[in-house]
Amino acid sequence: MRPFVYEQPADISAAVAIASRFTTSDDQPTRANAQFIAGGTNLADYMKLGVAEPNRLLDLNRLKESGLRQIRVTDDGIRFGALVRMGEAADHREVKERYPVIADSLRLAASGQIRNMASLAGNILQRTRCEYFRETSWQCNKRVPGSGCAAMEGFNRQHAVLGDSDACIATYHGDFAQALIALDAVVHAEGSRGARKIPFAKLHRQPGDTPHIETDLAADEIITAIEVPAMPWARRSLYLKIRDRESYAFALASAAVALDLDGETVREARIALGGVATVPWRAGAAEQSLQGKKLDETSAEAAADAAFAQAQPRQHNAFKIELGKRTLVRALLETRDMKV
Amino acid sequence: MDAAAPRPKENMGEPLPRVDARLKVTGQAHYPADLPTANIAYGALATSSIAKGKVTKLRLDDVRAVPGLLDIVTYGDMDKVDKPKFGNSGATSIGPLHDRRIFHDGQIVALAVAETFEAAEEAARLIRAEYEEEKPTATFDSPGTATIPAAGKSPLFKEDVKAGDFDAAYADAAVKIDQRYSTPTQHHNPIELFSTTAFWEGDQLTVHEPSQNVTGWKVELARQLKIDPAKVRIVSPFIGGAFGSKGPMTPRTAIVAVAAKRLGRPVRCVTSRMQAFGTQTYRAETRHRIRIGAGKDGRISAFAHEGWEVTSRPDAYVVGGTSATGRMYDYGSVLTHVSLVQTDRNTPGYMRSPPETPYVYALENAMDEMAVALGMDPVEFRRINEPKVEPIGKKPFSSRSLIQCYDQAAEAFGWADRDPKVGAMRDGDWLVGMGCATAIYPTAVAPCAARVRLTVDGDVRLQCGSHEIGTGVRTVAGQMASERLGVSIDKISVEMGDSSLPPAPVSGGSISTASVCSAVLMACDAIRTKLYAAATAEGGPLVGSHNEELELAGGKIVAKSGASAKVGDVLKAMQVGAIEEYAEFAPKNATPEALKKLYAGTPEFHGADQDEDSVKYAFGAEFVEVRINRFTREIRVPRIVGAFAAGRIMNTRTARSQLMGGMIWGIGQALHEATEVDRRYARYVNRDLQDYLVPVNADIKDLQVILVPEVDHAVNPAGAKGLGELGNVGTAAAVASAVYHATGKRIRDLPIRIEQLLV
Ligand SMILES: Cc1cc2nc3c(=O)[nH]c(=O)nc-3n(C[C@H](O)[C@H](O)[C@H](O)COP(=O)(O)OP(=O)(O)OC[C@H]3O[C@@H](n4cnc5c(N)ncnc54)[C@H](O)[C@@H]3O)c2cc1C
Ligand code: SF4
């Protein structure tokens, strides 16, 4: 393991100050000399593997702002502090009641130990698990820009069929993000250029020609909170995650669904898809296709077809198109049948 | 008694808790890399990122700048020692630092040694090899494979078994199938990482390393280092999962020993999980073609099993399970052939039930297909083809309780409630399927030595160079001594896992319980004989009693008449502080060299299909229920029941635990486990536990193990058949059978994954 400097800034402004001293405005957060660490379940792992190589770690866990550790439920919605642990949010009574899709997405992620350690901000910023990315002896455009993509013609069963490019097909594996993007969440960030709000859908970047650019964040920007607007009908929502084993595995395909129903007719649908795309994936076309329709297996299938109309299969992941569609159909029907 | 400690039935021992259970669950058990060693330096491996070619240059400039770096062991530095040998004690003949040629992905190119683990890792990471690359051959169907017959390539696989005229019988059969099956590469992935710690005291070398074969390693390591085996000691008190991976020694051991010698300091090298994929052995991927022909009455007249197995270029590792599949049922005629397919991969090796897991999977999946073709209940189909003698040599089975296993498991499972129609059983959106398959494992035994000492205070010290790989052998060996000497288990200390102890065979092939217990039995009986002689001698407390009338119980010699004498008093009267006996057990059919070979680390195996009088196998039957979602097709296993008969069950708790672990592993083999090979580069892709999936707790729901009573005096003096490798045989076929029942889809390639059921 490479040697690095470890610091524990006392508050947000100190953390931003150190970060901006050791990074430039062109630096990508994941490639910068100084990087933030929260639970470390993603970053420490990647440092051991030689995938992430910061010289300086800024530990956020001692930041004194208490809001970073709080979940606040108001009439306007819900606000998660960035350092809230996955496990806390998953077990939170009001989260479970008002936004089952959020609680489910967290409960079905990782393992109990990891959920106790991992922060919500770290979770949404987790990096891909592409095998060729994780192991430094392979070619990888995301890790070493311009070096090629070993996964493209390699073993790509877990790779993305949506939002991919000729440079990178790595899946975004997180679950929580699918709930957030479906519910129009907003991310609060603070950096040397001030505080700002980022619509969740703008946070992650599709790979395009620059797969090493993963988010909209600057290297000295700290996520401080995640806000989800109030949405009374989100009580009818769920997260369905399909995987090779019953627990402790990433999604082969998943769906975050929230439905506003008038009897069996869809007033509004919110749909996001996990395990199949390079970034958190809002399925707008599927939502539109359901609007004003009676929700049954036929209309659900039509929505699923719309969601995957642009999907691009590779050698080992072609099944994800069919699986993704079926996952969405099942999720829609199960959400419809929820007793709320 | 609870499920974990089943009430012993006939010919079963008490469910004593493991003697080391508390140590293990409280973190006090010291595994080899935990053994405190003073002044230690750390080693880390650098491994190749290509599978075929030559290392032209190692760039070490950056490496030398790493603070704390002490040494780099690489090409040239092993020239004074001999290359490894492939065999029982050696994983491969490739001497990675003897030769700049690269034979496989992840081959060792150097060992960096430093003051700290972190510095060693950093140095190893910075070692940059330059290669002259060649196009490697990854696996079956890759360009550049060479296919050779397996028979005779390994001492464990002498011939392709056959019987009768298969071709004629198959041509005449009224109902027949001809199908192909496959199983993937699998890596053992024990939770304890692989490690070697080596230190020299003068010319005496000690190695701490998890090992299933301390005696074999001692001899092989001494041969490589060209020193006297008496100067080598291998210590492996606890092993955190082995499954065959710690059976043969890998080239790392000698490299670390050389590093320790150069440095004059202990060196410890723990390999990363990723590196283990290339530096250790693995289960070879296999392919099978099976043909079965039967009459309309379901009687099999023709059975052919052809197998193909991946191996490395230099070493002919043979999986070869046809010896068992060819003897499983009353076939009429049998034809088998096994081929090795040479590729640019590391050498495969033993992995829990090495031959049976893939071969019996193929056979049992085919049996299920055949039952479907016949329109017959799969249990009934097996019953009809139950043999009186095995079909190859026409020898009887020393004991065979397969049908009892089927009956008891079927009853507990509720097989009678199964609607045989495909797709007929449903629970809401879930398709329900039920299937079954046979488990079989050969019963072998090997020579073994043990030393037992009984002191005047009634303490017993038992020493045997076997290995506690998690099976509970320490406990059952202690239990054997406890029964024979009438001493409670807490008065017995059991020492194992050290090559300075009396030699035991490799802990493989499920022979340990039988071999070790037979030796312990001999030693204990010799102690009894001495005690009885003293007690019944003129002037002794039990004078006049005959040995047959005496028992040892509760620290006393008890006569039928009711008279008794304290063992301690007898020893005092003998004017000794202890009786110590060293026993050398050799199986009935052992050759005159058998004991010599035990000490040389190359023990003979007897039993299984090798004996003249009978063939010896343990059997079981497993029943599985699967549920498959009608939309998304994920497969879940809510229930599994296995019934097993394996001669004397020494301890019902440890036996159940082994069988349970096997069945869980079998579910993993059916649904999860596979090492993915990038065919372009012949490199492993999913080299960690994130992507190499094994079942987690949530995957295992209702699991039931039934121990079926069986008595078999022919197998060995202890009367025990090994069962450590029985439980995971057949499971995958039972799952495939259940998946077929639920969906009508016959999956022949493991693991069974969602994508195979979506189409
Ligand atoms: C074996 C395993 C299985 C897993 N399974 C799942 C799963 O099924 N589903 C799932 O969703 N996830 C899964 N995960 C991922 C896990 O959820 C993430 O590792 C975790 O959420 C990351 O949170 P952390 O606080 O540990 O982040 P860290 O590792 O500390 O940080 C991750 C990244 O976020 C950055 N960062 C952290 N906090 C901030 C902040 N406040 N502002 C700016 N940048 C920040 C860091 O610089 C780093 O780049 C799994 C992980 C493992 C190891
Ligand atoms: S898919 Fe993306 S992350 Fe994976 S190897 Fe290709 S470029 Fe790298």
List residues of A whose CB lies inside 8 A of any B CB: 1-3, 50, 129, 131-132, 134-135, 137, 150, 153-155, 157-158, 242-249, 252-253, 319, 322-323, 326-327, 329-330
pLDDT digits over B114-150, tens only? 999 999 999 999 999 999 999 999 999 999 999 999 9
Provide the 10 A C-beta neighbour count for residue B12: 18
Q: Which CATH architecture has domain A238-336?
A: 2-Layer Sandwich (3.30)
Sorting pLDDT into bands at 50, 70 and 90, what band is A315? very high
Domains and CATH numbers, chain B: 32-135+201-279 (3.90.1170.50), 395-443+607-759 (3.30.365.10), 446-599 (3.30.365.10)
Report which of B268, B257, B313 is spatially closest to residue B116, judged by C-alpha positions: B268
End-to-end CA, chain A: 51
A323–B274 CB contact, under 8 Å: no
Q: How far is the CA of A41 from the centre of ligand 1 (A)?
A: 6
B685–A155 CB contact, under 8 Å: yes
Omega of the bond leading into A100 within 30 degrees of 0 (cis): no
Atom of ligand 2 nearest to the CA of A130: 4
Q: Testing the interface with A: which of B50, B754, B756, B759 to mutate, by most A Cβ within 10 A?
A: B754
Q: Is the CB of residue A223 below 6 angstroms from any atom belonging to ligand 1?
A: yes
Determine the 3-state secondary structure of B389 from DSSP: strand
Q: Which residues contact A298 (CB under 8 A, 6 or more apart)?
A: none
Given its phi and psi angles, is residue A65 left (phi above 0), alpha (psi -120 to 50 degrees) or beta?
A: beta
pLDDT digits over A20-64, tens only? 999 999 999 999 999 999 999 999 999 999 999 999 999 999 999
Q: Between chain A and chain B, how many beta carbons pairs sit less than 8 Å apart?
A: 83
Q: From the CA of A226, which ligand is nearest?
A: 1
B529 to A292, B230, B484, B561: CA distances (angstroms): 92, 32, 11, 19
Active site residue B380: no
The pLDDT, as a whole number, for residue A1 is 73
Q: In angstroms, rounded to a whole number, what is the distance separating the alpha carbons of residues B595 and B97?
A: 35
Determine the 3-state secondary structure of A40 from DSSP: coil
A319–B678 CB contact, under 8 Å: no
Vertex B534: Cα angle to B531 and B538 (nearest 5): 155
CA atoms within 13 A on the CB side of A141: 20
B629–A330 CB contact, under 8 Å: yes
Q: In angstroms, rounded to a whole number, what is the distance separating the alpha carbons of residues A287 and A6?
A: 46
Sorting pLDDT into bands at 50, 70 and 90, what band is B1? low
Share of chain B above pLDDT 70, in %: 100
Q: What element of type H or E holds B206? A: strand B204-208
Residue tagged active-site, from B122, B220, B468, B725: B725
Backbone φ and ψ of B449, nearest 5°: -115, 155
Report which of A331, A302, A148 is spatially closest to residue A240, judged by C-alpha positions: A331
pLDDT digits over A268-280, tens only? 999 999 999 999 9
DSSP B395: P
A334 to chain B: nearest residue by CA?
B429
Q: Let me know if B580 is exposed, middle or buried by CB neighbors in 10 A (0-12, 13-18, 19+).
A: middle
Q: In angstroms, rounded to a whole number, what is the distance separating the alpha carbons of residues B464 and B449?
A: 7
Question: Residue type at A340?
Answer: V
Residue B305 clears pLDDT 90, i.e. is over it? yes
Query: How far away is chain B from the Cα of A138, in angstroms, using its nearest Cα?
Result: 8
Q: Closest residue (by CA) to atom 8 of ligand 2?
A: A140
Q: Is the CB of residue A40 below 6 angstroms from any atom belonging to ligand 1?
A: yes
Q: Residue B563 in contact with residue B413, Cβ under 8 Å? A: no
Sorting pLDDT into bands at 50, 70 and 90, what band is B521? very high
Q: Residue B374 in contact with residue B296, Cβ under 8 Å? A: yes
Q: In angstroms, rounded to a whole number, what is the distance separating the alpha carbons of residues B722 and B619?
A: 11
| Ligand 2 pocket, mutate which of A135, A140, A143, A166 (most atoms under 8 A from CB) | A140
A330–B632 CB contact, under 8 Å: yes
Q: What element of type H or E holds B181? A: strand B175-183
Query: How far away is chain B from the Cα of A318, in angstroms, using its nearest Cα?
Result: 9
DSSP B448: E
B631 to chain A: nearest residue by CA?
A326
The pLDDT, as a whole number, for residue A2 is 85
B698–A158 CB contact, under 8 Å: no
Nearest to A319 among B634, B680, B754 (CB): B754
Query: How far away is chain A from the Cα of B741, in angstroms, using its nearest Cα?
Result: 20
Q: Is the CB of residue A122 below 6 angstroms from any atom belonging to ligand 1?
A: yes
- More confident of the two residues B759 and B424: B424
Instruction: Average the pLDDT over B418-436 and give the result.
Output: 97
B67 to chain A: nearest residue by CA?
A3
pLDDT digits over B578-625, tens only? 999 999 999 988 999 999 999 999 999 999 999 999 999 999 999 999
Q: In angstroms, rounded to a whole number, what is the distance separating the alpha carbons of residues B318 and B278?
A: 19
**DSSP sequence for B584-611:** EE--TT--TTHHHHHHTT-PPPEETT--
Query: How far away is chain A from the Cα of B635, in angstroms, using its nearest Cα?
Result: 8
Q: Let me know if A321 is exposed, middle or buried by CB neighbors in 10 A (0-12, 13-18, 19+).
A: buried
Q: Testing the interface with B: which of A135, A240, A250, A321 to mutate, by most B Cβ within 10 A?
A: A135
Task: Spell out which residues of chain A touch residue B685, defining contact as CB-CB under 8 Å.
Answer: 131-132, 154-155
Task: Spell out which residues of chain B touch residue A322, defining contact as CB-CB under 8 Å.
Answer: 758-759
Pocket of ligand 2 (CB under 6 A): A 128, 130, 132-133, 140-142, 149-151, 168-170, 211
Average pLDDT of chain B is 97
The pLDDT, as a whole number, for residue B164 is 98
The pLDDT, as a whole number, for residue B672 is 98
Sorting pLDDT into bands at 50, 70 and 90, what band is B757? very high
B690–A129 CB contact, under 8 Å: yes
Share of chain A above pLDDT 70, in %: 100
Number of H helices, E strands in chain A: 13, 12
The pLDDT, as a whole number, for residue B11 is 96
B676–A245 CB contact, under 8 Å: no
pLDDT digits over A80-126, tens only? 999 999 999 999 999 999 999 999 999 999 999 999 999 999 999 99
B755–A150 CB contact, under 8 Å: no
Q: How far is the CA of A207 from the centre of ligand 2 (A)?
A: 10
pLDDT digits over A295-313, tens only? 999 999 999 999 999 999 9
| Domains of chain A by residue range | 5-57, 238-336
Q: Residue A174 in contact with residue A109, Cβ under 8 Å? A: yes
Residue B3 clears pLDDT 90, i.e. is over it? no
The pLDDT, as a whole number, for residue B532 is 96
| Ligand 1 pocket, mutate which of A119, A204, A252 (most atoms under 8 A from CB) | A119
Average pLDDT of chain A is 97
Encoded tokens for A13: 């402004």
Encoded tokens for B26: 């409280």
pLDDT digits over B214-231, tens only? 999 999 999 999 999 999
Query: How far away is chain A from the Cα of B288, in angstroms, using its nearest Cα?
Result: 23
Provide the 10 A C-beta neighbour count for residue B206: 22
Residue B103 clears pLDDT 90, i.e. is over it? yes
DSSP A37: E
The pLDDT, as a whole number, for residue B72 is 98
pLDDT digits over B69-92, tens only? 999 999 999 999 999 999 989 999
pLDDT digits over B275-286, tens only? 999 999 999 999
